[in-house]
Structure formats: C-alpha cells, structure tokens
Structure 1
Amino acid sequence: MSAAVTHMLATDLDGTLVGDAKGLKHLINYYKNLPYEVSLVYITGRHLESAISLIKSEQLPTPKLLVTDVGTSIYQGSNMEQDLEWKQKMKKDWYPRQIREAAKDFPQIKPQQLPDDRRVSFTIEERENEHIVEEFKKALDAEQIPHNFIFSSGRDIDILPAGSGKGEALRFIAGKFADGDTSILVAGDSGNDLEMLTLGYPSVIVANARQELLEVKENANLYRATKTCAGGIHEAWKYFYG
C-alpha cells in the first residue's frame, strides 16, 4: 500500500461482505466503476488458511490488507506478507497456556481447535450458560492474565492478546496506511466487530446483524442498513460517500 489511500473499506467477511452473492456482485461492480480506488481491508475471525479459502471460494477481490484471528495478525498484498510490527506487539505478555488451564475449571466451555496460538477460542452451546462466560472472565482477571476477552454470537469466546482485537488492528492500520483525509467505512455484523464499529469512523451495521449489535448506541457515524451483507455495505457507502 505504497500509494496514497483515499478510500478504504474495512469489513468483516462472514455475514457481512459474504452472505448475499447478488449483493456482493453489485458492490464489487459499483467499486470498479468509481473514479477512485477503494482499498479493501478484510478483518475476520478466521485464521489465515481459512480466510484465503473463503476469498477464493467466493471469488472476492484480493484485499490490500487481510486481518485474521479476530485482529491478532495482519497480512499485506497478494503474497500475504505478515506485518512484523504487529506480530511483535501480539507476542508481548501473551500466555495462551495459562488461559487454557484456567478454562479447565469450566467444563461447559469447549475449546476450539486452531492451527496456532495467535488466539485461544472456545464455544459454549447453551444460552442459559452465558453466566459461565462471565465467571470465566472473572477468573482470568483474578489470575491477572493479560488478555482481551470477546464474547459474540451467543456462543463464541475469543481470548486475545491484550491490546489486540479488530478495533485495535484497524486503528493500527489507519495510522500506518491511511491519513486524516482517507475516507473509511467500517462494516460488521456481530459482537467481535463492535470494537472497530465504535472507533468513530463512518460505520455500517448490516441488516442481518446479531442481537448484540442491535443494542449499540446511535451516533452520527453509525448507519443501520436496511439490506443484508454486501447490499448493506453498498447502501452505507452511498449514504456516506455518495
């Protein structure tokens, strides 16, 4: 991203950019016909291989930047070169083994199988067990384990390095690759998008968003789309940037 970035779409993938093939096609064609380039930044909970697989299967444009594992890794360009500055930041004060040990006291919480330790993730299936999630969080706090705790979609628990998450990753990207004149739109559909949707940039919550985003406080830079997925992004882009 050596050239000046004038416009940027920072979007979640599943349920946001991806999920409505017709709306996605219209959005991509709309961007192709604009008189300026929209730099695409994909910010996903998927790990790298899974994200690349989705990009290929959905025939998504190659992004300028790909952020994976709920904001714990950043990759640039078609060769997906990892941002080493962010990588070093994510390694500081990160204790995945201690997090897994703490989770053993909560049998209702099931570990997710991931290819590496960039994050530690779990699922909890029964909605009535959500109080267990709060107890787990309190246990991590009591043991003074540095972390960022994200519970989303009523089932997904992501434990990330402190100072990480989709919001902090986007803040880092905006500081490194954009400037105060860059027009940015942020798009999401679930709780793990909340941090980036509330940074203060123009943002869209797509119509198919999870309940946790329906409760977000209204503000002038927040647009609630009437269309789902990419159709909602298209709607919001025209609202903010004409």
Structure 2
Amino acid sequence: MPQKNVSHLLATDLDGTFVGEAEELRSLLDHFERLDETVTLVYVTGRHLESALELIEQENLPFPEVLITDVGAAIHDFSDPDVSLMWKNKLGDDWNPEDIRRAARNIKGLQEQELPVSCRVSYYAEGEAAVNELKQTLRSTGIPHHLIYSSGRDVDVLPLGAGKGNALSYLIEQKDWSDADILIAGDSGNDLDMLSLPYPAVIVGNCQDELKSVQGDLIYRAKRPCAGGILEGWKHYFSESLSPM
C-alpha cells in the first residue's frame, strides 16, 4: 500500500507525557493547528490496545496515525495492517509467556499484572532486588526476552527485539518517514530506547527519576510538564522549519 507522505511527526508516550496536564495539551494542539504543515501523531504507550483506546476517548485525544502499544510489543497501523502483522512476525516464534511466568514464579516481591494480551508479561515490583533476581533467572535459563524496569515499580518482559525504540524505528522505516522532521517525547525509563534514537527528542519536565540524568546531543530537557514540555521541545527544534500562519 502506498505510504502517506509525512513531513512532520510527533511520536509520544501517553501517560505523563502527552496526557496529564489538560491546559498544556490544549496549548500544544492549538499550536499544531496554527502551523502551515500537518503534524502526524504516533502514540507509543505501555498500555494495551483496549486501554489506550479508552484513554483516547476519555481525554478526547486526536486519533493517531499509528498506535504502538504494550511497550513496543505491538503495532497498530490503522491504514496498513500489513505493517502491524510484519512487526508481529518479526519478533519471531521463540516468545513463550509461560516460560517467563515459570521463571518468575518463586521470586518474592513480584506481582503479575492482569493483562488481556499475550505479547508481554508485566509485573509490579516491590524493589530492585526482585527485579535483579528476575533478570538473573531469565539470563541463566536462556529464555529469549527483553526486560524493561521503569517508574520504580513497573517490570515489562517483552519478546526479544521488542521495545518502544525498536518498534518506532521499524515503523519509520516501513512507512518511509525517515526524511520527516521527527520529535520523540517521553517521561520514564520505558521511553529511553526511543528517546535515544537518532532523532530530536524531548524529556518532559515531570519525568521519572530514571530519566533525570539522561543527556544526549539530540535530547532536549524541557522545564514544563507533559504536553507543555513537548511544545517547548517542538519550538526548540522546529521553530524555523514550521512557522505559524
């Protein structure tokens, strides 16, 4: 299927980044509406699909071109389902969530999250000791996986090769969007791999502790929270390329 021509793209986490401060979000969307060019939206979230769609409806968010869910374990391209299917196939056949659950079964301090998906296994952790024990157990058993610990309690175990950064990078390649002006926005540790991609990025002012010391040539540290920080980053990178009408 021919891909949509995209000149400007915002790829953003939802909770604590795009969503969280209603007035700041309104200011960001108002700014986008005044621009000469259309800004294409991609939401990259730790929520599963149903939960993300509920949030979009509850908060009256603009519907995205693509929705990356489950910390990058699933892609939902609403205009080209083949992109979604190819990502699922790319992650391979060696993903077995029951292997993860068996490995974690006797680790104290982990509480499994009840999820309606099989593309990841997620836990709440009482502390880093439990997380480290899970890491060691998964390594010693040789189970293919990608583990992400964020926000001081969230543990997501994904298929090897998954993650927000890999999913977004794959999407940009498949959609032929690499020449667009791209801004990536996030607030927590599960955003780090996408914030580290070779595109302009912004860490919002209300970020979690694990991102407070993160630096990089393409990472802008905003002072304002949530969508206000995104607007700050957008103006920092694109004030000359996109001018209000």
TM range (shorter): over 0.9
Q: In the alignment, what sits opposite 2:222?
A: 225
Q: Distance in 1 between matches of 2:146 and 2:178?
A: 27
Q: Distance in 1 between matches of 2:68 and 2:58?
A: 18
Q: Any conservation in 1 of the 2:83–2:174 contact (CA below 8 Å)?
A: no
Q: In the alignment, what sits opposite 2:159?
A: 161
Q: In the alignment, what sits opposite 2:231?
A: 234
- C-alpha root-mean-square deviation of aligned residues, in Å? 1.6
- Please list the CA deviations of residues 20-65 of structure 1 after superposition, one character each: whole Å capped at 9, or x if unmatched: 0001011111111111111100000000000000001111001000
Q: Distance in 2 between matches of 1:39 and 1:150?
A: 27
Q: In the alignment, what sits opposite 2:7?
A: 6
Q: In the alignment, what sits opposite 2:242?
A: none
Q: In the alignment, what sits opposite 1:130?
A: 128
Q: Distance in 1 between matches of 2:81 and 2:55?
A: 15
Structure 2: runs of 5+ lacking an equivalent? 240-245
Q: Any conservation in 2 of the 1:73–1:82 contact (CA below 8 Å)?
A: no
Distance 1:167 1:18, change over 3 A: same
Q: Measure how far apart 1:117 and its partner are.
A: 0.8
Structure-2-length-normalised TM-score? 0.93
Q: In the alignment, what sits opposite 2:243?
A: none
Residue type at the aligned position of 2:151: S
Structure 1: runs of 5+ lacking an equivalent? none
Q: How many residues align?
A: 238
Seq. identity, %: 49
Q: Any conservation in 1 of the 2:3–2:176 contact (CA below 8 Å)?
A: no
Distance 1:169 1:6, change over 3 A: same
Q: Distance in 1 between matches of 2:117 and 2:40?
A: 29
